[in-house]
Every structure is written in structure tokens, then in C-alpha cells.
């Protein structure tokens, strides 16, 4: 499917400008805190390797126990710097998730992509990138803006962020598109919920997420059933 693409430099610049206050300004307008924290509590323990994709300032994973290895990737340099400040023991890199993840990072037991897929232009490609670094039996939590024809402001494939003032688009993906991409890359859904994700100020509406938790069933290029 042919989507308009964002200027990645513009996306990075927007988040560079709010890195130090990001958590403060976004927490009152988002609904995902309980969901992602429950996932981390249920799936992270000593010795696990955790990838925080689109990590922002590291606010979701910085407080994990020190015997957990945390790697964070984000398109914004300032966000990466802030995440590194919060958790000096972590590894943080500037990276665009549309590109293959660095092979030298190895495999991960747990991967979180909370909110960052708002800017995902090719969901199948990005899920494929994640699948490459998710260990067999590993768990992946992610959210997507879910396309639904019957729901106002969710019946288009993309909308302008910030009322068009930022010249940045956010993208919507249907349940079937997401499920198809997961099946292609051997990721088995364990949990799914359609629920409020965040409050948009312009347009003024609640954006609904598809919340997914999936498990990797692919090993050595094959899907285990």
C-alpha cells in the first residue's frame, strides 16, 4: 500500500525539542501506562534482554532492575541522550525503526514499541525488522493507531499531526493488516485489545490503539506451530 512518507529529520527535530519535558507533557494525555507496565512486570525478570523501540527519554524501562539488560533505540538524538542519563547502564542508539535493527545488538527476550508506531509508514516491514531480533519464545508488546471505517478520525490511512502545523503525518493500520504481518513473520498473538491510546488536540478526539502482545514462534527461518 502506497503511503505518504514523513521527513524523518522533521520527526526527530520535533522530539529533540521536547525531550526534557516529554514525560511531563504526554502523561496527562495518554492511556497506555497501565498496559505497558503490566506487560513488563509479567515478562521481565533477572537476566532478560529488553529492547525499548522508540524509547523516547527512557521513561518506560529506565527503572527496570539493574540485572536486566536494556537497549533503547529512538530517532531523536536528544531523546537518546535523555534516556542514557536516566539509565547509565543501558545502551542507547539513534535509529529509525524502518531500517533493519543493528545485528550486533543480538536477540532480545522482550521488545516494547509503545506509541512509536504512530509514525510507522510500512507496518509489515517494521514488524519484520522486529521479528529478526526477537528471540524464539520472546514477547513483543506494541501499539498501533487502528484504522476503522466506522470510527471518526480513524477512517483515513493517515492524518496530519498537530493540525498540519508540523508537516508530519501519523498512520493507521487495520486489524487484518496487523494480523497478516504478524503471521508472515511467525509472531503468535497472545493478547489484543482495542482501547483509547491518546488524546489528540488537533483534531480534538481520542485516538484508539490496537494493543498487541505477541510471541515469537519462528526459529531458523521456519514457523513452529
Confidence at 2, pLDDT banded by 50, 70, 90? very low
Tell me the average pLDDT of the chain.
Answer: 90
Contacts of 111 (CB under 8 A, 6+ apart): 50, 51, 53, 130, 133, 134, 138, 139, 140, 141, 142
- For 158-214, the pLDDT digits (tens) are 988 765 556 788 999 999 999 999 999 999 999 999 999 998 887 788 999 999 999
**Which tens digit of pLDDT belongs to each residue from 37-80?**
999 999 999 999 999 999 999 999 999 999 999 999 999 999 99
Number of residues that make up the chain = 225
Residues 75-91 have a mean pLDDT of 97
Q: What is the pTM of this model?
A: 0.91
At 166 the pLDDT is: 62
pLDDT for 221 equals 45
- Tell me the C-alpha distance between 120 and 98, whole Å: 8
Identify the burial level of 152 via C-beta atoms within 10 angstroms of its C-beta, where 0-12 means exposed, 13-18 middle and 19 or more buried: exposed
Amino acid at each position: 500500500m502506497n503511503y505518504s512518507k514523513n521527513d524523518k529529520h522533521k520527526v526527530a527535530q520535533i522530539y529533540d525539542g521536547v525531550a526534557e519535558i516529554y514525560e511531563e507533557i504526554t502523561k496527562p494525555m495518554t492511556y497506555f501506562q497501565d498496559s505497558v507496565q503490566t506487560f513488563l512486570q509479567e515478562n521481565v525478570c533477572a537476566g532478560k534482554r529488553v529492547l525499548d523501540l522508540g524509547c523516547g527519554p527512557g521513561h518506560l524501562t529506565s527503572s527496570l532492575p539493574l540485572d536486566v539488560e536494556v537497549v533503547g533505540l529512538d530517532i531523536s538524538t536528544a531523546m537518546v541522550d535523555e534516556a542514557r542519563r536516566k539509565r547509565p547502564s543501558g545502551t542507547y542508539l539513534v535509529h529509525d525503526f524502518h531500517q533493519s535493527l543493528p545485528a550486533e545488538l543480538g536477540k532480545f527476550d522482550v521488545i516494547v514499541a509503545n506509541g512509536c508506531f504512530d509514525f510507522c509508514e510500512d507496518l509489515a516491514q517494521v514488524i519484520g525488522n522486529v521479528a529478526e531480533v526477537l528471540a524464539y519464545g520472546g514477547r513483543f508488546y506494541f501499539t498501533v493507531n487502528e484504522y476503522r471505517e466506522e470510527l471518526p478520525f480513524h477512517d483515513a490511512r493517515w492524518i496530519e499531526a498537530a493540525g498540519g502545523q508540523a508537516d508530519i503525518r501519523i498512520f493507521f493500520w487495520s486489524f487484518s493488516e496487523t494480523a497478516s504481518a504478524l503471521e508472515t513473520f511467525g509472531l503468535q498473538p497472545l493478547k489484543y485489545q482495542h482501547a483509547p491510546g491518546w488524546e489528540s488536540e488537533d483534531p480534538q478526539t481520542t485516538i484508539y490503539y490496537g494493543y498487541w502482545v505477541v510471541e515469537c514462534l519462528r526459529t531458523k527461518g521456519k514457523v513452529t506451530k
